[in-house]
Structures are given as C-alpha cells and as structure tokens.
Amino acid sequence: MTIIIAVDGPAASGKGTLAKKLAKHFGFHHLDSGALYRLVGLGVAEAHGDPKKEADAVEAARHIDHRRADDPAIRTAAVGMLASIVSAHPAVRQALLDYQRTFAKLPPGTVIDGRDIGTVVCPDATVKLFVDASAEVRAHRRWLELSAANPGDPPDEARLLAEIQERDARDRTRAVAPLKPADDAQLLDTSNLDIDAAFAAALALVSPAV
Ligand code: C5P
C-alpha cells in the first residue's frame, strides 16, 4: 500500500521545504498542492478574468498547465494572493481534487503539502504533520527569500506581514476546507527552528509510521 505523508500549514511555515526533504529522504514523490492553486490564480490573471468569480476561476482550474509548476512566475506574492482568492471557491477545490488523490496513490509513497491534505484530500494519510510558526517569523522568512531572489529591490517586511495575515485569515475562515490541523495531525512549531532542526523534528514525528 502506498504510504502518504500529509504536510499542512500556513504560508511560509516551512512545510514546503520539509515536504521536499521528507520526499527525498524516503524516495517518495512530492506534490506541492499550493502550486496548483497558484497556477489557477495565474491562469485567471492571464485570461484577464476575475479571481472572485467562480466561473472564471473554474475555467482556469480546468486548463491548468502542470508543466508550469516550476515557473518562477507563480511564486510572487501577487500570485499567492490570487491563489488564496480562487482557492475559496468550492468548485475550484473540487476540480483539483482528482489530480491530488490520483497523485497521492503513486507507489511507493508520496508527500503532499498544502492546507487541507490531512483533512480533505487524504483523510486516510499514513501520517499527518501540521507545520506552524508565528506570523512574524513567517513574514521574515518570506522577506529573506524574496530579498535573496531580488537583491536590488528588497520587499517591505511590514507589507509582507500584512499580506501573510490577510492570507491566513482567508485560508482559516473560508467555508470549504479551511486551514486547520486534522484531529490526528502531529503539530510541529518551527518558529525557533532552523531548517536542519525542523527536518530532524519532522523526521522524528514521521519515521515511526513509515
Ligand atoms: O502553499 P502556497 O502558499 O503556495 O499556497 C497558495 C495558496 O493556495 C494558499 O494561500 C491557499 O489559499 C491555497 N491552497 C489551498 N489548499 C491547498 C494548498 C494551497 O487552499 N491544499
């Protein structure tokens, strides 16, 4: 049976990095489900649609180009915000469900990170992590990331914090698949951990089940 590791958490909690490292460690496939919502957000923008309109967002969700999952264009704060808006539409979430569930079953195992993997996409995952960190720490990580990518034009950290808080609020309060730990998720707070320490902690939580 395929082993499924679900890694959920808010923006910049470290869940993506941890998921990637866990997948490499175990030799499993990795899916960043946030990239799917980002591709939908970008698709709506490119089609000059309105992300708040469900029909526009669903149209983009049906035409996702998975080859663009590594495109740096989906990593901007603006596309993150679009992703958060389109992801609140139930029909968009439904349109992405089959792809995620099919991916989840790839042998010998998968690591999927997102917001609702342990609660909705893979409620029967072998093991579930919920990765969190304070909003300030997460905003600072984003600032470091974006400044390194674009040294000539570092972003405003206060604005990043406000964006993270806005995105969190929308992700946590939406009616469908809100961001929250599954009842059987193991919590990992990375506020005071660097990447190596966070990975060691994640491995300690996950290994007994894998
Ligand atoms: O993880 P990332 O920041 O790339 O996700 C972008 C946005 O996509 C999130 O703010 C969230 O609104 C949405 N998302 C979601 N469900 C997931 C993954 C991401 O709603 N499983």
Q: What is the pLDDT of residues 102-150, one digit of tens each?
A: 999 999 999 999 999 999 999 999 999 999 999 999 999 999 988 998 8
Q: Is the pLDDT of residue 184 over 90?
A: yes
Q: What does the pLDDT read at residue 13?
A: 95
Q: Whole-angstrom Cα distance, residue 123 to residue 194? A: 29
* Nearest-CA residue for atom 5 of ligand 1: 34
Report the pLDDT value the prediction gives residue 139, as an integer from 0 to 100: 96
ipTM of the complex: 0.98
Confidence (pLDDT) at 77: 82
Q: Which residues approach ligand 1 with their CB closer than 6 A?
A: 11, 33-34, 37-38, 80, 83-84, 87, 114-117, 167, 171
Closest by alpha carbon to 28, among 127, 146, 116?
127
Task: Tell me the per-residue pLDDT of 54-85, one tens digit each, with 9 for 90 and over.
Answer: 999 999 999 999 999 999 999 888 999 999 99
Whether 94 has a pLDDT exceeding 90, the answer reads: yes
pLDDT band of residue 210 (cuts 50, 70, 90) is very high
Those residues whose C-beta lies under 8 Å from the C-beta of residue 100, and which sit 6 or more positions away, are 31, 33, 36, 112, 117, 121, 122
pLDDT at 146: 86
Question: From the CA of 9, how far away is ligand 1's center (Å)?
Answer: 9
Q: Strand runs (DSSP E) across the chain, as ranges?
A: 3-8, 29-32, 109-114, 127-132, 186-189
Q: Considering the chain, what percentage of its residues have pLDDT values greater than 90?
A: 90
Rounded CA separation 114/148 (Å): 24
Against a cut of 0.90, is the pTM above it? Answer: yes
Would the pLDDT of 52 be above 90? Answer: yes
Instruction: Measure Cα distances from 150 to 111, 112, 145, 154, 163 in Å.
Output: 30, 28, 9, 6, 19
Question: 106 C-alpha to center of ligand 1: Å?
Answer: 22
